[in-house]
Structure 1
Amino acid sequence: MTGNKAVAYKEPGKVELIDIDYPSFDLKDGPGVNPANVGRSVPHGVILKTVATNICGSDQHMVRGRTTAPPNLVLGHEITGEVVEVGPGVEFIKEGDICSVPFNIACGRCRNCKERKTGICLNVNPDRPGSAYGYVDMGGWVGGQANYVLVPYADWNLLKFPDKDQALEKILDLAMLSDIFPTGFHGAVSAGVGVGSTVYVAGAGPVGLAAATSAHLLGAAVVIVGDLNGDRLAKARSFGCETVDLTMGGPAEQIEQILGVPEVDCGVDAVGFEARGHGHDAKEAPATVLNSLMEITAAGGALGIPGLYVTGDPGGVDEAAKKGALSLSLGTGWAKSLSFTTGQCPVMKYNRQLMMAILHDKVSIAKNVNAKAITLEEAPQGYAEFDAGAATKYVLNPNGYLS
């Protein structure tokens, strides 16, 4: 059988390339696999030869030891691939198709899927609504930072690119459709971004830059990005964003210098639970982003919160944070009648439209997030550089499709 190598979490701060089984059309026991999923038959699935699979900030949370991820968990939920085998229950997807894989696994049959809430499918994770490839507590579906990966419910989950040659020409852009582009777009949409909006995006990592890109695409008048990392802020400025340097203090005063008022119409949290405070020596303070967004978002506005928050964080700054309980100024949000949207992005709600924007040259998401292709063997170095704050979106190239 064809060999298969994959990037696996080993221990806090360490990932390693390991040998794993070639995928089959049933779920086998392994690190992180829910016992109720072992032996589950997947006749509706396909096996993909991976074209591109990205390192995500959500992966970094696990690699830093900030979750309960077990050793040897195969990572990778941002997957683009070519179909090499189809299960007997697959009707429309064919061998040779190149497809984007939404990071949320969805059955297409449950109530939530039928209501387009594919981030909280009821049938793919025995523990809770919602699932993803290669992620802790998400059912144990094997991750895609590998040569080959199984995708269930293929007719439902896969977004087929209409032209193979065109897709390969724009593959670094299209590789962003599995997660960060729809996630950033969802953050902007749920924050109410529209024509003429003023927007503050907290965080200039890849999801924050994708949210800023999305705000421009949605017609925002001014997009402001805040971060502690100067290189990432420079990347935001490169495609027309204003920036707030949080090493200089909180965002309100700097926003006022840009807009004339210390508030924006819409706020996006692209940071999540490992947030730090403001100033040169900022320490971890996980409620900082949410509280500052409530402060600077205009009354009646909305917050889009695609940044990841968890219910179990072994490295939390206090006992409350270890359970995901943060000291939020909810009274501020209530007094200002702010709306909040949290949770996994329902990728399928947006990915086809964003694909069309890419294919017809309406957006350059790979450029904006500084996508860089590296080999599977270079993954540990990519993880280390990303963790150190590199202003780069690392795209793994396991099978040589990427130039």
Structure 2
Amino acid sequence: MTAAPATAHPGHPGRQWTATWATANIAAAPDPFGGVNWADGFENQSLRQVVRISRGGSEVRVRLSNVYGTGPLRLTGATIGRTAEGASIVPGSLRPVLFAGKRSTVVPAGRQVASDAVRLRVAPLERLTVTFYFAKRTGPATFHPFALATSYRAAGNHLRDGSAGSYTETSQSWYYLSGIDVSGRHGGAVVAFGDSITDGSFSTPDANNRYPDELAERLVAAHCDKGVVNAGIGGNRVLTDSPGFGDRAIARFGRDALGQPGVRTVIVLEGINDIGLGVGPDSKAVTAEELIAGHRKLIRAAHARGVTMVGATILPFAGVTYPGYYTEDGEKVRDAVNQWIRTSGEYDEVADFDRALADPADPDRLNPAYDGGDGLHPNDAGMRVMAETIDLDEL
């Protein structure tokens, strides 16, 4: 399946927008781990979602996605404000979000829209709360599972309710929300593109310790005026679509990476799931040549847009706890792809996550100090090391 095209209402013409937060969405699917999942949609319900932005600005806009919808998405209203605690809003910060001057909008199936500019001055690394109200049945939701962030749901219209009292249900996914942009002159956006490791799996929920979050903190500390957005999807593969884990990387790259407003640089960390799970409907073993060819497609697409590409080496996985995921042949593929990333010069720059997180006693395994518990995903400390591995000048 090829990713559906996406279009965006420009909001107010003449403004320069830069992505300050984003997520990569998938089609509605059950939670494979049995978590709370509202992907079947909403009706007469308010949905409140908390995100942490990377860059500040004098105005914001919200992007809403129905890319995987089966019919038109009717949004009755939306608000944005500064986050207090949980589902509560900082008093005096709540603002209505308009679409072409109206409080409601309809997003056609297969599309996404951007709101008008909202006058709300925001600071780097500030938490914002976006609330949607859907009066009528939405149908299956375009959403992002495994957000590692708490979203809230209330019965009825609580768009302008600054308190948390009505928001009694929670989920660890984002729904329909695809991005937040800030206006003004900025140094562009860095997109972290990848699978569950980029997505932040096994980092602490609600703590914003994913490696792109840590990278954003480094850039702010260095007074570097760039946004950082996370386009990781758990279970994602370069060459194969996966129900519940998103379109293949080569299909979604144009929307999820190159489609981000103000994108200047993309960091690509993809391939371990092709190695561990195989490719194609029969899950046949992937070759290094096939994976490299997939990466080359991403590079060509980015360079055609003048976007810098940073290739991240694939992390060690010999200690993975998932049966059948690691094989000696798969290790050879990983080694070959990493060698190509390091030495071919086809990526503009290299982030050598493999060497930074490898066990000194066994380079094919994740360093125990950075292991989130399954031999594959880094913990908070490992996420921090990944961010520190990136040379800020490369961005």
Q: What is the TM-score of this pair, normalised by structure 1?
A: 0.26
Q: Which has the higher helix share?
A: 1
Q: Which has the higher strand share?
A: 2
